[in-house]
Structure 1
Amino acid sequence: MPPTDYILLVEDDISIAEVVTSYLTEAGYHVSHHERGQHALDHARKESPMLVVLDLSLPDVPGELVCQELKRLGDIPVIMLTAKSSEEQRLIGFSLGADDYVVKPFSARELVFRVKVALKRTAEVPADTTTGKLSFNGKALILDPECYQVIMAGTPVELSATEFKMLLRIASTPGKVFSREELLEKVLGYTCEGYDRCIDAHIKNIRHKIGDRSKNPVYIESVYGVGYRFNGVKDT
């Protein structure tokens, strides 16, 4: 059985897996490597990893399906590895719940950096946000940063750590317009050209989960050409 702080690496290219494992091990992480998606899922069900590095092109199960199953197991950060570099492919990955997306060929050092950022993002509440409960629209929407919980109309809503922090970020300052670049830096922890559209995918997921319609939103309004604004009425 692996240590409880291990990283699950799902990659069928042995040469890539060896390099990634070497760099992650050097950075102080325990790594469990699997070449097949189903084996990785079986492993994750027995012992939940703290993060998964997931190749999308696997020999048995599409990586997208593996990502979905991992997210059903719990709020496990997932970094996708893929040769698919189009913006559309990245957005599909983020819409499935991926926390980050790295295109092959990639720098192993950069991947380690992204792993560290993802783990830090999961463990910490963003700076400049409240640490107490927030409620809006007569307690129709409640955010509890202490336990990463969202209650919508009395029903718990499951958001990933990234989604929760993004919602908390914008909800902490109702009426303020947040640019995609600002959310990318403040919530995801870095900026990268071409990745600002991933914010759209995360916002789409949040809206869907809290039942907020994009055409007539109660909470999250799109500001054309800029980003997003939270319009919920904060309870006093």
Structure 2
Amino acid sequence: MVTHEQQTEKTALIVEDDKAVLQLIRLYLAQAGYRILEAQDGVAGLRMALEESPDIVLLDLNLAGMDGIEVCKNVRSESDVPIIMVTARVEEEDRLTGLDLGADDYVSKPFSPRELVARVNAVLRRTQRNAENQKETGNHLTAGAVVIDLDRRSATVLGTEIDLTPTEFRLLSYFIEGRGRTVSRDQIIENVFGYDFSGYDRTVDTHVSNLRKKLESANPEGQHLKTMYGVGYRFDV
């Protein structure tokens, strides 16, 4: 089902099977100036995410037809649209799985509608800022055997392309831009995620760990991404 509360610049797709929650999210996002698209099952949500080109997707995990993890995985294979998972699942493993697949944020039910809107706004600001930064820094970033193509949003190691999630791509770009400099979790949160990530510090570590594994798998001799214990991380060439 598609509703057009008002025509504005940004469109939010809500994929949620709980009608009360869907109505609550719709109300607050519409009041914040968003055009709203809705789907109440995973199959419809996936189709709309790929066909309607929303600016952001708010995705429940417990969906009929196709659960939110599968929807996220399939969307991310085709699109880098920002995804916020909104779910009653509280297990850390569910949260980390979603984030590993490329979700940009994770909000647990019950939630504050105003905080949810703030997170939506923050994710979109970060997305826009990253796009603007890429335009300013040129088409490529290079650090040793690692080359990032900002236009294609791809990365190669020793000439071989590596499969990165959107979050991993942003993280690698940030590390390469600041190569040789130690950065803290807080700096990563501010510059890569762009919103208050308080309470989810392990997520930063998980993304860094996954990125490191992919880099070292492509080039076992090139262990560039180093953990500075008690401080943060540093990318050396």
TM range (shorter): 0.7 to 0.9
Q: Please, what is the CA RMSD of the aligned residues?
A: 2.9
Match of 1:116 among 118, 121, 125: 121
In the other structure, the counterpart of 1:193 is 198
Q: How far is the alpha carbon of 1:128 from its aligned partner?
A: 9.0
Question: For structure 1, which runs of at least 5 residues remain unmatched after alignment?
Answer: none
**What are the residue-to-residue correspondences of 1:17-96 with 2, within 5 Å?**
17-96=22-101
The total of aligned residue pairs comes to: 230
More helix by share: 2
Match of 2:141 among 134, 138, 143: 134
Question: After superposition, what is the alpha-carbon deviation per residue over 1:140-181, rounded to whole angstroms, capped at 9, x for unaligned?
Answer: 211244554423333444544433222122212222222222
Against the structure 1 CA distance between its residues 49 and 159, is the aligned structure 2 distance closer, same or farther, given a 3 Å change threshold? Answer: farther
Structure 1 window deviating more from structure 2 (41-50 vs 59-68): it is 41-50
Question: After superposition, what is the alpha-carbon deviation per residue over 1:33-54, rounded to whole angstroms, capped at 9, x for unaligned?
Answer: 1110011112223222221100
CA distance in 2: counterparts of 1:229 and 1:214, whole angstroms: 17
Q: So what's the TM-score if we normalise by structure 2?
A: 0.84
**What are the residue-to-residue correspondences of 1:106-185 with 2, within 5 Å?**
106-125=111-130, 131-132=137-138, 133-137=140-144, 140-145=145-150, 148-157=153-162, 159-185=164-190
CA distance in 2: counterparts of 1:120 and 1:159, whole angstroms: 22
Match of 1:7 among 4, 8, 12: 12
Q: Which runs of 4+ in 1 moved over 6 A?
A: 1-4, 126-130, 213-216
SS at match of 1:203: helix
Question: After superposition, what is the alpha-carbon deviation per residue over 1:116-149, rounded to whole angstroms, capped at 9, x for unaligned?
Answer: 1111222223899971332122xx2112445544
CA distance in 1: counterparts of 2:159 and 2:218, whole angstroms: 19
Q: Is the 8 A contact 1:122 1:161 kept in 2?
A: no
Against the structure 1 CA distance between its residues 135 and 112, is the aligned structure 2 distance closer, same or farther, given a 3 Å change threshold? Answer: same
Q: So what's the TM-score if we normalise by structure 1?
A: 0.84
Q: What code does the residue aligned with 1:82 have?
A: T
